[in-house]
Amino acid sequence: MRFTFWGTRGSIPVPGPGTLRYGGNSTCCELDLDGQRVIIDAGSGIRPLGQALGPQPGELILLLTHLHWDHVMGFPFFAPAYSHQAVIRVGGWPRGLPGLEQMFHSVHVQGYFPIDFGYFPIDFKDLHADILRDPSLDPPRFAIGRHQITTIPLNHPQGAIGYRLEGPGGALVFITDNELDPLAPAPPELVEFCRGADILIHDAQFLPSEMALRRGWGHSDWASALRLAQAAGVGRLLFTHHDPGRDDQALERVVEQARAQAGGLPVEAAAEGQVLEL
């Protein structure tokens, strides 16, 4: 299993000199599962991924966690969607494909009046790729080659799902957009979901001191993510969905503080371009 971060930022892309180390693109990850390319989320990071895939992108699987803007905004700029050579099988979040379609221009007639919808000038039907919903990639459990994938509902406004990917090399859990209660232990079903994973990637958008004013926004503070990792006995923890207001230096300070409390558990902040091998 090879996992690459193409976007680690939460909420909105923040390019610029302050985000060169950890990256400014919003959520997108690429997995190579025994040669099958799988993409999780279509934030702005999916645009450079599309460039890297080149003119023969082949068959791709796109798994969505949910439909918030920062997780789909890159899809209209994903070059393979315009390629006759591409097949994009969409799975994961149950309303994923209709959600992507709604971003594109369409005209509906209501009574006598044509009404324009969408947030992008191209019609979805004008995308050349074969883009289809694949029911074999529905939650809560499915397989891609030798890899077993399970999902869990997350604590997030309008919902979201987390993924656990398990294969011959080990287990990786990816949980973005999830609010843990800083005043309570992590939910037992979530601890079980993460149990013994070699790698846990978890939302750590906020500082513990920020949570009082951000309850109900659907994101965690890093100390709660660390407590979940410790309770689940994972091998390594990476923070993701970095706050757009937190520059590289501020993220380095978060990692330093987290390491001081981690009791030897390896902790880092996910960086755009970083590759994990299992």
Binding residues (CB under 5 A) for Zn ion: these are 10, 68, 70, 177
Tell me the two tokens of residue 233: 């006995």
Question: Rounded to the nearest whole angstrom, what is the least distance from the CB of residue 218 to Zn ion in the complex?
Answer: 6
Strand partners, 117: 106
The nearer residue to Zn ion, 79 or 160, going by C-beta atoms, is 160
The nearer residue to Zn ion, 77 or 217, going by C-beta atoms, is 217
The nearer residue to Zn ion, 30 or 243, going by C-beta atoms, is 243
Q: What one-character DSSP code corresponds to residue 74?
A: T
Helices 222-232/248-261 angle, 10° precision: 40
Question: Rounded to the nearest whole angstrom, what is the least distance from the CB of residue 158 to Zn ion in the complex?
Answer: 7
Question: In whole angstroms, what is the distance from residue 70 CA to residue 49 CA?
Answer: 16
CA torsion angle 172 175 176 180 (round to 10) = -140
Q: Which residues contact 46 (CB under 8 A, 6 or more apart)?
A: 6, 7, 28, 39, 74, 75, 77, 78
Question: In whole angstroms, what is the distance from residue 204 CA to residue 194 CA?
Answer: 16
In the complex, residue closest to Zn ion by CB: 68
Report yes or no: 2 and 251 within 8 Å, Cβ to Cβ. no
The nearer residue to Zn ion, 10 or 50, going by C-beta atoms, is 10
Q: HSE on the CB side for 168, CA within 13 Å? A: 4
The nearer residue to Zn ion, 1 or 228, going by C-beta atoms, is 228
Question: Which of 122, 148, 103 is closest to 1 using CA atoms?
Answer: 148
Question: Rounded to the nearest whole angstrom, what is the least distance from the CB of residue 187 to Zn ion in the complex?
Answer: 18
Question: Rounded to the nearest whole angstrom, what is the least distance from the CB of residue 65 to Zn ion in the complex?
Answer: 8
The nearer residue to Zn ion, 147 or 219, going by C-beta atoms, is 219
Question: Rounded to the nearest whole angstrom, what is the least distance from the CB of residue 64 to Zn ion in the complex?
Answer: 11
Question: Rounded to the nearest whole angstrom, what is the least distance from the CB of residue 181 to Zn ion in the complex?
Answer: 17
